[in-house]
């Protein structure tokens, strides 16, 4: 039987941390580069401390907050909301194909493989507006890529992600779609809702004390791959949706906005093509 407890920041954070740490990450960073980066970070901290006249009580609050973020498992959340968009900009330099965006903390690898025309796994009574999302994966010359896959995941109509909220069954609204011989796909799902990032933990406390809002606009997550091509990780948003112009994660780009049309049956239809750079 499905657990229907209300999701919490600590529950979501713990799940995000567990997913992230399940595979150890390494980077080939020479000691000289690490030292240069660390020096710049510490110098930036020193400049901020001096400019704002940071007091000892403020410093001790910072230490306690840093501990709280770790204990709640929210480092993947906090970094992905406030830092990842800068990393993504650097990673995208030199690309000629489709625009990327942040991956975020709610990615789960090895999702169910589905045919080019498919429906994402969902509850029998899944709420929300039905969405048919279609497109093609191409190379820079405009040729369809028949061996491409389109990995997709998104929140439900209440803003919750499977695997990260106790009230959602694992695996829903996620899948890895194998395109057809022309690189095309058609995915039936539901339109996700905007959502607040968890606010009952230290990330939420940070946002509240700063007087900011915690909202992300509704979006689809995509990771598109093909042999010999650079993988593109991105998000697609919905024209006119709440928070599109004021995303807490600063991840929205004009090129990533969908403009769905609604048919006579109330089904939303949206199209988007992905163009991949050579590896």
List, for residues 133-146, the tens digit of each pLDDT value: 999 999 999 999 99
Q: CATH number for the domain including 9? A: 2.60.130.10
Q: Summarize pLDDT for 61-113 with one digit per residue, the tens.
A: 999 999 999 999 999 999 999 999 999 999 999 999 999 999 999 999 999 99
pTM, two decimals, is 0.88
Count up the domains in the chain and report the number. 1
d(CA 276, CA 279): 9
278 DSSP assignment: B
d(CA 166, CA 147): 35
**Residue 206 · residue 78 · CB < 8 Å:** yes
Length of the chain in residues, anyone? Answer: 279
Q: Summarize pLDDT for 204-259 with one digit per residue, the tens.
A: 999 999 999 999 999 999 999 999 999 999 999 999 999 999 999 999 999 999 99
Domain that holds residue 35: 1-279
Q: Tell me the DSSP string of 18-59.
A: HHHHTS-------HHHHHHHHHHHHHHHHHHHHHHT--HHHH
């Amino acid at each position: 039987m499905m657990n229907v407890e209300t999701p919490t920041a600590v529950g979501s954070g713990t799940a995000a941390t567990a997913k992230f740490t399940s595979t150890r990450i390494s980077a080939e960073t020479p000691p000289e580069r690490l030292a240069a980066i660390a020096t710049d970070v510490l110098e930036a901290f020193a400049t901020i401390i001096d400019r704002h006249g940071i007091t000892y009580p403020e410093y001790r609050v910072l230490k306690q907050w840093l501990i709280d973020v770790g204990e709640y498992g929210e480092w993947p959340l906090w970094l992905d909301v406030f830092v990842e968009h800068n990393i993504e900009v650097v990673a995208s330099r030199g690309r000629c194909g489709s625009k990327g965006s942040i991956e975020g903390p709610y990615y789960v690898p090895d999702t169910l493989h589905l045919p080019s025309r498919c429906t994402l796994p969902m509850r029998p009574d899944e709420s929300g507006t039905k969405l048919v999302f279609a497109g093609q994966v191409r190379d820079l010359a405009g040729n369809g890529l028949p061996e491409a896959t389109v990995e997709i995941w998104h929140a439900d109509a209440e803003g919750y992600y499977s695997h990260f909220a106790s009230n959602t069954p694992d695996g829903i609204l996620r899948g890895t779609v194998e395109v057809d011989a022309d690189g095309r796909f058609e995915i039936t799902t539901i339109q996700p809702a905007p959502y607040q990032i968890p606010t009952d933990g230290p990330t939420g406390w940070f946002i509240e004390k700063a007087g900011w809002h915690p909202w992300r606009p509704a979006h689809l997550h995509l990771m598109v791959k093909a042999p010999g091509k650079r993988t593109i990780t991105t998000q697609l948003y919905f024209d006119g949706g709440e928070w599109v112009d004021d995303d807490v994660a600063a991840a929205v780009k004009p090129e990533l906005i969908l403009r769905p049309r609604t048919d006579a049956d109330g089904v939303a239809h949206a199209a988007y093509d992905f163009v991949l750079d050579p590896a």
